[in-house]
């Protein structure tokens, strides 16, 4: 009954295409920002005037951007008691009949939003990667060579915060939006308009953040420690305001994803049949929802200190730097598990599919991920071992920090158990999944020294720490993201990525990655501090090697970028079930139709039931029950 | 959770992989115990020696664990790999309760060992050596260090210490958070504005030149915030204090 095609009223569509859209959003947003800044500049005075003008401008930009992009259209209509949107209007809002233009509008279709997130994440990685290139350039030679210290500090901070933001959303954003609703058998997210809002909040934060370059940058690094943040140039306001927008975006996305998974699962999709990937996404955003508000709050306080002259973090007036540090790390450590959970879940998913074997211990690995999310909330104070703040915390937090390796270790038991005696098909996504596991072990082991209070005194604030968390976040998690890209690209774009290029990407990146960070472990062990615009000659050798291997990372990423663009334009058409997976996203055609399923599926088995009694889950499709066999040739 | 009885062929795989694991672990341990200590940085205090030992021991413990995973994965990828899209499913093999409990138990026990080791290290670092420590007030500001010896009324831009005498640093900052760190002593504490906090008491054990580095990003010239550390004999230290005291008095008059 739903298949009767509704021909879009093209004239009407064309009229409403430009308004509302990102174009009208940008126009109104810039105008609103300038207007607000101008209005406040009439009243602002004293040495906080610039901060007041800048923050007013950001507020004006945000409000007017959302008016322009059409975010308020339906809430206002609803608030004034107008008629509920018709089914046709809902489909229009979901982007029906707008072609590529729907990616530039406040479109509610979760698949459009997933692709918007994916492109945005790739762009953020590109900007963050350029900043990394500048860092490696500066540190390739001892002394201050290429960048003045103020620029260098800003570049380090920009690299850090962009990469952290991008890794937080890199899987939950693109694949959490695109894949999760399909994988649980839903037609869309629970709150499609909030979904669009969360994406466009992220979008609106990016120009705010980039404006830091015009305002003198910020010299605090990604951690934004106060009271240094209180005295930083006006570029600091950009950082703080970005975090506030980003935090709201993350919270809205989290509420949406959790509600979707809890309420919109297809009949028969019991919790025990939920794909591990969906568990990973849900637990990750839940953890983010708990952790992120404290960072947002800290940045609101920084803005108050800077704009209104309060003294949350000024010790001379009763404030405390430790307050900032506690609030920051209360987000800062759970956040690495926010990044880790989806990535590990993708890896477990791929290992099962490409070994054609059940997840070795489904309940235990889900329990392990729940354990990571719980214990992840109580490890933050290990970042404050050497801050002088709270000696009584040191022992208990050393315990929790080392304890969290137990639930994390379950993932490895499951990985090796699932691979064992499997029919291992080493595709490109599988290659990245295996790489993630191999690299993550090194990241985990080097974390042991940092969890230990006495040895942390050797490493804290040094290059060893930087190398360690790059091994977890890049070696472990970004490899998982790359795997997810190769795994779901055929589903999202209906085309295959080139396999040879994919293998080149893997090996260039893997070798380059070890070449960059192993020397930095060594330099850190021997006392190189982080954040140096000026490398002492003692560490020149290690840093030069690291900088040279960075070239391989650039090569690997270029191959990846070329692969995406060329395959998207002219790659071979992908099959609906490209890899022989059993979860629901492989039962719908590629590209996926607007409402995903013609008839909602009924789930009767776990997606990992390889080699079991039934050779795959039975899914009731439009033409009666169809089996998605694990073994199709 | 059930497990199919392993066939003879699977036992043979299991034996192979365990042999590989043991052999590689033994080789890696020998390699690490020879090369590891050589990789460690110079240690000029007992705390730093202990930190280096900790790194060597933790790594030695981690090697067989990491290799267990790596060897299992590598063996599987080599022996069980199929060249093209698999036409049939693998065996329906899921973990037995025993395997899971063993895994959790072993990783849990290793973690517990690390925690106990760490608590012992913390206890050792916090026990004060006999004798009255030399007090040095450390003041950080953007972007220099000042070291004051209150017992002698001396301040200096370099940290000079007598060998073998316990020393306690009282650390503060005049502006933002800095990180006071003498890597060779394994002593490290943030310099916080508005509070003076004492480090653990450390005893320099080696004559020589080292450095204080700032390890918290503290603004524009963070990278330049180093100060020299000299560990000298008792006589040299006394002579240096005398000279410096005269210099300070002269400086104070100017
Ligand atoms: Cu400093």
For chain A, give the percent of residues with pLDDT over 90: 63
Asked if residue B70 belongs to a domain, the reply is: yes
Q: Give the per-residue pLDDT at B86.
A: 87
As for how many domains chain B has, the answer is 2
Q: Are residues A57 and A160 in the same domain?
A: no
Q: Are residues A85 and A111 in the same domain?
A: no
Q: How far is the CA of B176 from the centre of ligand 1 (A)?
A: 8
Q: Give the per-residue pLDDT at A7.
A: 46
A81 to chain B, closest Cα gap in Å? 54
Of B94, B197, B214, which is closest to A360 when you measure between CB atoms? B94
Which tokens sit at B13?
């795989």
- For residues A46 and A43, give the distance between their C-alpha atoms in angstroms, rounded to a whole number: 10
Residue of B nearest to A522 (CA): B39
Asked if residue B20 belongs to a domain, the reply is: yes
Domain finish residue from A534, A553, A570: A570
Domain finish residue from B87, B108, B126: B126
Find the range with the poorest average confidence among A590-594, A628-632, B203-207, B229-233: A628-632
Q: How far is the CA of B145 from the centre of ligand 1 (A)?
A: 8
Q: Are residues B141 and B115 in the same domain?
A: no
Q: Give the per-residue pLDDT at A105.
A: 86
Q: Please give the residue that has the higher pLDDT: either A385 or A554.
A: A554
Asked if residue A603 belongs to a domain, the reply is: no
Exposed e or buried b for every residue in A225-253, given b needs 16+ CB within 10 A? bbbbbbbbbbbbbbbbbbbbbbbbbbbbb
Mean pLDDT of A592-613: 86
Mean pLDDT of B77-102: 89
- For residues A367 and A409, give the distance between their C-alpha atoms in angstroms, rounded to a whole number: 12
Mean pLDDT of A625-632: 38
Q: What's the pLDDT tens digit per position in B159-218? A: 999 999 999 999 999 999 999 999 999 898 999 998 999 998 999 999 999 999 999 999
Question: Hey, are the CB atoms on A417 and B93 less than 8 Å from each other?
Answer: yes
CB A100 within 8 A of CB A93: no
Q: Are residues B46 and B162 in the same domain?
A: no
Q: Give the per-residue pLDDT at A10.
A: 53
A429 to chain B, closest Cα gap in Å? 14
Asked if residue A631 belongs to a domain, the reply is: no
A264 to chain B, closest Cα gap in Å? 29
Band of residue B246 on the pLDDT scale cut at 50, 70, 90: confident
Domain range for B140 is: 134-249
Asked if residue B44 belongs to a domain, the reply is: yes
Q: Give the per-residue pLDDT at B6.
A: 46
Band of residue A622 on the pLDDT scale cut at 50, 70, 90: very low
CB B177 within 8 A of CB B192: yes
The owner of tokens 């980039």 is: A210
B143 to chain A, closest Cα gap in Å? 13
Q: Are residues B140 and B198 in the same domain?
A: yes
Asked if residue A589 belongs to a domain, the reply is: no
Q: Are residues A476 and A438 in the same domain?
A: yes
Asked if residue B231 belongs to a domain, the reply is: yes
Find the range with the poorest average confidence among A78-87, A109-118, B52-61: A78-87
Q: Are residues A342 and A417 in the same domain?
A: yes
Residue of A nearest to B199 (CA): A388
Find the range with the poorest average confidence among A500-504, B42-46, B248-252: B248-252
Q: What's the pLDDT tens digit per position in A282-322? A: 999 999 999 999 999 999 999 999 999 898 998 888 889 99
A226 to chain B, closest Cα gap in Å? 7
Reference B155, options B244, B232, B242; nearest CA is: B244
- For residues A248 and A260, give the distance between their C-alpha atoms in angstroms, rounded to a whole number: 18
For chain A, give the percent of residues with pLDDT over 70: 94
- Give B54's contacts in chain A (Cβ within 8 Å): 449, 452, 454-455
Mean pLDDT of A53-62: 94
Asked if residue A349 belongs to a domain, the reply is: yes
Q: Give the per-residue pLDDT at A122.
A: 95
B45 to chain A, closest Cα gap in Å? 12
Asked if residue B107 belongs to a domain, the reply is: yes
Q: What's the pLDDT tens digit per position in A431-455? A: 999 999 999 999 999 988 888 888 8
Of B89, B181, B217, which is closest to A221 when you measure between CB atoms? B217
Q: Give the per-residue pLDDT at B212.
A: 93
Q: Are residues B226 and B157 in the same domain?
A: yes
Q: Give the per-residue pLDDT at A510.
A: 95
Mean pLDDT of A239-265: 94
Q: Are residues A277 and A359 in the same domain?
A: yes
Question: Hey, are the CB atoms on B86 and A425 less than 8 Å from each other?
Answer: yes
Long-range Cβ contact pairs of A615-622 (< 8 A, separation 24 or more):
A615/B89, A616/A582, A617/A273, A617/A582, A619/A584, A619/A587, A621/A587, A622/A598
Report chain B's mean pLDDT, rounded to a whole number: 88
Asked if residue A584 belongs to a domain, the reply is: no
Instruction: Please state the length of chain A.
Output: 633
Question: Hey, are the CB atoms on A425 and B171 less than 8 Å from each other?
Answer: no
Q: Are residues A450 and A377 in the same domain?
A: yes
Question: Hey, are the CB atoms on A402 and B115 less than 8 Å from each other?
Answer: yes
Q: Give the per-residue pLDDT at B80.
A: 92
Q: Are residues A69 and A125 in the same domain?
A: no
Q: Give the per-residue pLDDT at A391.
A: 73
Indicate the pTM of the whole model: 0.91
Q: Are residues B143 and B209 in the same domain?
A: yes
Band of residue A145 on the pLDDT scale cut at 50, 70, 90: confident
Domain finish residue from A570, A598, A623: A570
As for how many domains chain A has, the answer is 2
Question: Hey, are the CB atoms on A457 and B187 less than 8 Å from each other?
Answer: yes
Q: What's the pLDDT tens digit per position in A388-414? A: 887 788 888 888 988 899 999 999 999
Q: Are residues B120 and B218 in the same domain?
A: no
Q: Are residues B61 and B146 in the same domain?
A: no
A595 Cβ neighbours under 8 A, 6+ residues apart:
A2, A187, A188
Residue A77 above 90 pLDDT?
no
Q: Are residues A77 and A125 in the same domain?
A: no
Mean pLDDT of B131-146: 92
Q: Give the per-residue pLDDT at A6.
A: 42
Q: Are residues A185 and A323 in the same domain?
A: yes
Q: Are residues B138 and B29 in the same domain?
A: no
Residue A3 above 70 pLDDT?
no
Mean pLDDT of A502-519: 95
| HSE-CB of B81 using CA atoms within 13 angstroms | 11
Residue of B nearest to A397 (CA): B115
Domain finish residue from A528, A552, A570: A570
Band of residue A16 on the pLDDT scale cut at 50, 70, 90: low
- Give B93's contacts in chain A (Cβ within 8 Å): 357-358, 360, 417, 420-421, 611
- For residues B161 and B136, give the distance between their C-alpha atoms in angstroms, rounded to a whole number: 9
- For residues A604 and A267, give the distance between their C-alpha atoms in angstroms, rounded to a whole number: 9
- Give B117's contacts in chain A (Cβ within 8 Å): 452
Question: Hey, are the CB atoms on A461 and B93 less than 8 Å from each other?
Answer: no
Residue B252 above 50 pLDDT?
no
Question: Hey, are the CB atoms on A532 and B223 less than 8 Å from each other?
Answer: yes
Residue A329 above 80 pLDDT?
yes
Q: What's the pLDDT tens digit per position in A457-507? A: 788 888 999 999 999 999 999 999 999 999 999 999 999 999 999 999 999
Q: Are residues A48 and A121 in the same domain?
A: no
Question: Hey, are the CB atoms on A580 and B85 less than 8 Å from each other?
Answer: yes
- Complex prediction ipTM: 0.90
Asked if residue A2 belongs to a domain, the reply is: no
- For residues B225 and A153, give the distance between their C-alpha atoms in angstroms, rounded to a whole number: 14
Q: Give the per-residue pLDDT at A620.
A: 43
Residue of A nearest to B141 (CA): A228
Q: Give the per-residue pLDDT at A14.
A: 54
CATH code for position B156: 2.60.40.420
Q: Are residues B244 and B147 in the same domain?
A: yes
Asked if residue A593 belongs to a domain, the reply is: no
Question: Hey, are the CB atoms on B90 and A355 less than 8 Å from each other?
Answer: yes
- Give A529's contacts in chain B (Cβ within 8 Å): 179, 181, 213-215, 223
Q: Are residues B198 and B114 in the same domain?
A: no
Q: Is B129 exposed, middle or buried (0-12, 13-18, 19+ CB in 10 A)?
A: exposed
DSSP structural state of residue A315 = G
Asked if residue B90 belongs to a domain, the reply is: no
Reference A162, options A98, A196, A212, A101; nearest CA is: A212
| HSE-CB of A524 using CA atoms within 13 angstroms | 28
Return the axis-axis angle of helices A49-69 and A22-41, rounded to nearest 10°: 150
Question: Hey, are the CB atoms on A421 and B93 less than 8 Å from each other?
Answer: yes
Q: First-to-last CA distance in chain A?
A: 34
Q: Give how far Cα A281 sits from Cα of A347, A583, B32, Å.
A: 12, 15, 39
Domain range for A26 is: 18-92
Residue A80 above 90 pLDDT?
no
Q: Give how far Cα A195 sits from Cα of A177, A248, B23, Å.
A: 8, 12, 53
Asked if residue B84 belongs to a domain, the reply is: no
Q: Are residues A27 and A127 in the same domain?
A: no
Q: Are residues B75 and B140 in the same domain?
A: no
Asked if residue A417 belongs to a domain, the reply is: yes
CATH code for position A186: 1.20.210.10
Q: Give the per-residue pLDDT at A131.
A: 94
Q: Is A343 exposed, middle or buried (0-12, 13-18, 19+ CB in 10 A)?
A: buried
Q: Are residues B115 and B10 in the same domain?
A: yes
Report chain A's mean pLDDT, rounded to a whole number: 88
Q: Give the per-residue pLDDT at A15.
A: 52
Residue of A nearest to B187 (CA): A457
Q: Is A217 exposed, middle or buried (0-12, 13-18, 19+ CB in 10 A)?
A: buried
Residue A237 sits at φ, ψ, to 5 deg, of: -60, -35
Residue A578 above 50 pLDDT?
yes
Q: Are residues A79 and A213 in the same domain?
A: no
Asked if residue B91 belongs to a domain, the reply is: no
Residue A256 above 60 pLDDT?
yes
Size of interface A-B (CB pairs under 8 A): 288
CB A522 within 8 A of CB A600: no
CB B75 within 8 A of CB B13: yes
């Amino acid at each position: 009954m739903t298949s009767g095609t509704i021909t879009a009223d093209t004239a009407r569509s064309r009229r409403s295409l430009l308004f509302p859209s990102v174009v009208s959003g940008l126009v109104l947003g810039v105008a609103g920002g300038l207007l607000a800044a101008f209005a406040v500049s009439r009243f602002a005075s004293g040495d906080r005037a610039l901060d007041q003008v800048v923050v007013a401008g950001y507020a004006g930009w945000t409000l007017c951007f959302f008016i322009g992009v059409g975010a308020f259209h339906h809430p206002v209509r609803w608030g004034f008691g107008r008629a509920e949107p018709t089914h046709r209007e809902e489909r229009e809002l979901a982007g029906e009949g707008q072609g590529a233009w729907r990616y530039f509008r406040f479109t509610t279709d979760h698949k459009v939003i997933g692709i918007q997130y994916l492109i945005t994440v790739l762009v953020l990685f590109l900007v963050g990667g350029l900043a990394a290139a500048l860092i490696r350039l500066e540190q390739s030679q001892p002394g201050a060579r290429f960048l003045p210290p103020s620029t260098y500090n800003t570049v380090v901070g920009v690299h850090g915060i962009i990469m952290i933001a991008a890794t937080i959303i890199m899987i939950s954003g693109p694949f959490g939006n695109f894949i999760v609703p399909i994988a649980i058998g839903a037609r869309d997210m629970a709150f499609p308009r909030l979904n669009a809002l969360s994406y466009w909040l992220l979008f609106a934060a990016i120009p705010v953040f980039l404006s830091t370059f015009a305002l003198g940058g910020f010299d605090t690094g990604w951690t934004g420690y106060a009271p240094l943040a209180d005295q930083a140039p006006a570029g600091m306001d950009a950082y703080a305001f970005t975090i506030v927008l980003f935090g709201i975006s993350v919270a809205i996305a989290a509420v949406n994803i959790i509600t979707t998974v809890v309420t919109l699962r297809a009949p028969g999709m019991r919790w025990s049949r939920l794909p591990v990937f969906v568990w990973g996404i849900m637990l990750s955003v839940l953890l983010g929802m708990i952790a992120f508000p404290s960072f947002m709050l800290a940045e609101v306080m920084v803005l108050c200190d800077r704009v209104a002259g309060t003294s949350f973090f000024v010790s001379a007036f009763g404030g405390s730097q430790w307050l900032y540090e506690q609030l920051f790390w209360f987000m800062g450590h759970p956040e690495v598990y926010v990044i880790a959970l989806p990535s590990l879940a993708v890896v477990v998913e791929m290992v099962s599919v490409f070994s054609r074997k059940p997840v070795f211990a489904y309940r235990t690995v889900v329990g392990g991920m729940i354990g990571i999310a719980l214990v992840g909330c109580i490890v933050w104070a290990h970042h404050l071992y050497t801050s002088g703040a709270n000696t009584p915390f040191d022992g208990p937090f050393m315990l929790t920090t080392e304890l969290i390796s137990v639930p994390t270790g379950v993932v490895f038991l499951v990985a090796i158990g699932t691979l064992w005696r499997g029919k291992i098909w080493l595709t490109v996504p599988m290659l990245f999944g295996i790489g993630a596991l191999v690299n993550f072990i090194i990241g985990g082991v080097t974390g042991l020294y940092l969890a230990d209070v006495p040895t942390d005194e050797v490493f804290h604030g040094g290059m060893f720490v930087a190398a360690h968390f790059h091994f977890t976040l890049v070696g472990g998690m970004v490899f998982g993201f790359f795997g997810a890209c190769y795994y779901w690209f055929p589903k999202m774009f209906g085309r295959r990525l080139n396999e040879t290029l994919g293998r080149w990407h893997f090996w260039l990146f893997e070798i380059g990655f070890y070449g960059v960070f192993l020397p930095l472990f060594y330099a850190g062990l021997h006392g190189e501090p982080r954040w140096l615009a000026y490398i002492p000659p003692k560490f020149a050798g290690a840093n030069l090697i690291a900088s040279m291997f960075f070239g391989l990372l650039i090569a690997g990423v270029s191959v990846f970028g070329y692969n995406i663009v060329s395959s998207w334009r002219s790659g071979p058409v992908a099959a609906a079930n490209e890899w022989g997976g059993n979860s629901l996203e492989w039962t719908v055609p590629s590209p996926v139709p607007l409402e995903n399923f013609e008839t909602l599926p009924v789930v009767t088995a776990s997606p990992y039931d390889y080699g079991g009694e039934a050779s795959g889950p039975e899914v009731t499709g439009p033409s009666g029950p169809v089996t998605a066999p694990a073994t199709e040739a | 959770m059930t497990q199919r009885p392993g066939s003879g062929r699977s036992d043979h795989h299991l034996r192979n992989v365990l042999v590989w694991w043991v052999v590689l672990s033994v080789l890696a341990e020998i390699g690490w115990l020879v090369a590891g200590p050589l990789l460690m940085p110079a240690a000029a205090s007992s705390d730093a020696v202990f930190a280096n030992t900790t790194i060597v021991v933790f790594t030695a413990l981690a090697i067989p664990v990491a290799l267990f995973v790596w060897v299992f994965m590598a063996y599987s990828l080599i022996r069980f790999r199929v060249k093209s899209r698999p036409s049939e499913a693998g065996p329906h093999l899921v973990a037995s309760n025993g395997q899971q409990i063993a895994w959790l138990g072993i990783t849990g026990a290793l973690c517990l060992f690390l925690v106990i080791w760490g608590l012992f290290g913390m206890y050792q670092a916090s026990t004060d050596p006999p004798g009255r420590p030399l007090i040095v007030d450390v003041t950080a500001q953007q972007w220099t260090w000042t070291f004051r010896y209150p017992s002698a009324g001396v301040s200096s831009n370099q940290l000079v210490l007598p060998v073998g005498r316990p020393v306690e640093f009282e650390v503060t900052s005049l502006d933002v958070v800095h990180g006071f760190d003498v890597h060779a002593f394994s002593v490290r504490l943030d310099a916080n504005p508005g509070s003076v906090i004492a480090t653990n008491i450390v005893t320099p054990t080696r004559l020589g030149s080292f450095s204080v580095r700032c390890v918290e990003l503290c603004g524009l010239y963070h990278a330049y915030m180093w100060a020299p550390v000299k560990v000298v004999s008792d006589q040299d230290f006394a002579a240096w204090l005398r000279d410096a005291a005269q210099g300070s008095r002269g400086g104070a008059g100017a």
